[in-house]
Structure 1
Amino acid sequence: MRKLILCAFAVIAFATVEAQDFKLGVSAALPMGDSGDISSFGINLDANYLWGVSDEFSVGLAAGYHHYFGKDYEDSFGGVTYTYEAEDAGFLPIGAAARFNASEEFTIGLDLGYGIGISPDGNDGGFYYAPKVQYSVSESLDIVLAYKGVSLDGGSFDALSLGLEFGL
């Protein structure tokens, strides 16, 4: 029954499409929480294709590549401190996107899907989420602040990102 309702919603949503919008984004990311212990900095490349359901609401698809640079970290065991070098982490997020135009300048958005683990070995990926707020500088340029995360077994890989999104 749930699948039938979702299919009906999708048909209604895409049948009322008013406009299409393709955007590319690039952002710098600051790893937070546990991911901040092993990563120093990140770079995100994102793309989304949105269909306008109404003047205020758009839905579509989102994908990208997020790369986080590993850093040295210390851990103590038995009174001895060990220094480790963390490997870089990479994710390929693929999912659905929704945007709500709160005003002429501000948009509130959410991307949900799966973040495929690219690196290091053993990174299986997990559920991907990215709530965001966008400020429109011009018709084809937005400043985007987002909290991006991938839920992993035993934790999550989270980062706060700030970047630009270009409408094409």
Structure 2
Amino acid sequence: MKKFLLLASFLALGFTANAQFSAGATFGLPVGDADNGYTFALGLDANYMFESDSAFKYGVAAGFLTYFGDEIAGFEIDNASFLPIAAAGRYGISDKFTLGADIGYAIGLSPDGNDGGFYYRPMLIYGLNERISFNLSYSGVSVDGGTFSNIGLGVMFNL
């Protein structure tokens, strides 16, 4: 039993030693269904990633995403907010560039009746240095009756 506990402790320490937490923000322009009623999108992102080898990382991603409503013919459209929770994968294609994807579910926070939906976010990441990276992404939330999607530019900070 002692050997098992010792082995489990070493494995747990090994996983946490290779884990990396990052946080950042994204500015997006709505496209598709969201293009007509929303002016821009802002997101806050957080990732907790593990390395499986030198090129591939996997983990979890969560955030907060808001689409800001437009005013059309005197009618103001409510902001739409989501809480995306996703599995995340990153694959380094060079020293500076990484391909990534987040896939999961975005919980609808506002307005009333926003039930959320399937969340997906492919991205291209440029690592400026070991602490700062920039990303270009397409983010989508498939909701009943349409899709909230945007093309975004973001910055992430490795903590």
Match of residue 138 from structure 1: 129
Q: Determine if contact 1:37/1:73 at 8 Å carries over to the other structure.
A: no
Deviations 1:49-78, CA, capped at 9 Å, x for gaps: 00000000010000000011100125xxxx
1:71 corresponding residue in structure 2:
70
Partner of 1:7: none
Shift of 1:19: 1.9
Alpha-carbon RMSD across the aligned residues, in angstroms, is 1.5
How far has the Cα of 1:37 moved from its partner? 0.8
1:161 aligned partner: 152
Partner of 1:40: 39
Q: Summarize the alignment of residues 1-168 of structure 1 with structure 2, pairs less than 5 Å apart.
A: 19-74=18-73, 83-168=74-159
Distance 2:37 2:46 in 1: 27
Identity of aligned residues (%): 45
Deviation at 1:36, TM superposition (A): 1.3
TM-score by length of 1: 0.83
Deviation (angstroms), 1:27: 1.1
TM-score between the two structures when normalised by the length of structure 2 = 0.88
Secondary structure of 1:109's aligned partner: strand
Size of the aligned set, in residue pairs, is: 146
Structure 2 stretches lacking a partner, 5+ long = 1-11
- 2-side partners of 1:71 and 1:152: how far apart? 19
For 1:73 and 1:147, how far apart are their aligned partners in 2? 25
CA distance, structure 1, for counterparts of residue 147 and residue 154 of structure 2: 22
